[in-house]
Structure 1
Amino acid sequence: MSIDRSRIRVKAMLIAPNADGTAHAVSRNTPTIENPRGYHRLIGGSVELSETHREAVLREVDEELGATVHELRHLGVLENIFEIDGVFGHEIVFVYIGRLDPAPAQVGATLMESDGSIVPVEWRAFDEDADALPLYPAGALELIGVGR
């Protein structure tokens, strides 16, 4: 399914720490022109008509991972303006933090996107070095005091 990037989209995404708080679950997305090694993205997705951003993040986590979220807390809102393979996108992203139940496996975990594609899920260390894949939306970890 092709994504219409001609409009500003509203998203709800989750920073999902592991039990010891050293890493968080992210999807690993395929390479693009802008990110030839791929990129990481927070778990979550689009807010649907008639649902709140809180309802959206809970629904997206259930749909993508078959998990529930505990200790859900809203952190803030980010504006994400980006390019994927030369096509501009623009999102308003409501960012949350919360614990997944069940948590994805340390290795080999996946999630299912709305178009049915399967995407790997990885645990990204909060103190990831500069050589790491980019994390989107940019600035998300700054909402919890990481990466300033």
Structure 2
Amino acid sequence: MAVLLGSDGTRHAVARLEPSRENPEGYHRLVGGGVEFGETSLEAVVREVREELGATLIDPSLLGVLENHFELDGDPGHEVVFVYCGRLDPADRVPPQGGMFADNDQPMPVEWRPIDDASVRIPLYPSGAGALVRQAAAHLRAD
């Protein structure tokens, strides 16, 4: 998955997923998906960003690895997520108001979530992603 910061460093792009039993208003997740057999996590995040957003991930760097235990509509899940940070080419691929993209031929709204998301009611997954987003934003501000 990828932390994709906006040019001003105050927000990041997220997919907005449908409501579930646990999250009746829906939920946000970082852009990107799973590693396919035979590819590295780096190859996977580059491929997923291309497939989901039609953009190239530039200068991807590994922020961290998260282990996430969750429930989705009552079904337990477990995933290990490699979280990368990078820039998009084209940089404006996700418009300021967000946009509609596709994930496995299914509509996928992508919107901007503030880095300082304490007032956002919609949860961000995977668990622990918010800390990595803030880390990436702090690194950007330091440069």
TM-score, normalisation: structure 2: 0.88
1:113 corresponds to which residue?
103
Structure 1 spans left out of the alignment, 5+ residues: 1-12
Q: Which amino acid aligns with 1:132?
A: R
Does 1:97 pair with 2:80?
no
Question: Which 4+ stretches in 1 moved above 3 angstroms?
Answer: none
SS of the equivalent of 1:45 reads coil
Which aligned pairs between 1:16-27 and structure 2 lie closer than 5 A?
Answer: 16-27=4-15
2:76 aligns with one of 48, 70, 88: 88
2:140 corresponds to which residue?
none
Q: Deviations over 1:58-109 (max 9, x none)?
A: 0000001100111211011000111110011110000001111223112241
2:47 aligns with one of 50, 59, 69: 59
Percentage of pairs with the same residue: 53
CA contact (8 A) 1:65 1:110 kept: no
Distance in 2, matches of 1:32 and 1:62, equals 27
Distance in 1, matches of 2:127 and 2:89, equals 25
Distance in 1, matches of 2:35 and 2:65, equals 13
Question: How large is the Cα RMSD of the aligned pairs?
Answer: 1.3
Distance in 1, matches of 2:4 and 2:120, equals 22
CA contact (8 A) 2:98 2:112 kept: no
1:133 corresponds to which residue?
122
Does 1:142 pair with 2:135?
no
Q: CA deviation at 1:144?
A: 4.8
Q: Which amino acid aligns with 2:51?
A: E
TM-score, normalisation: structure 1: 0.85
Q: CA deviation at 1:112?
A: 1.0
**How many residues matched?**
133
Deviates more, 1:48-57 or 1:101-110: 101-110
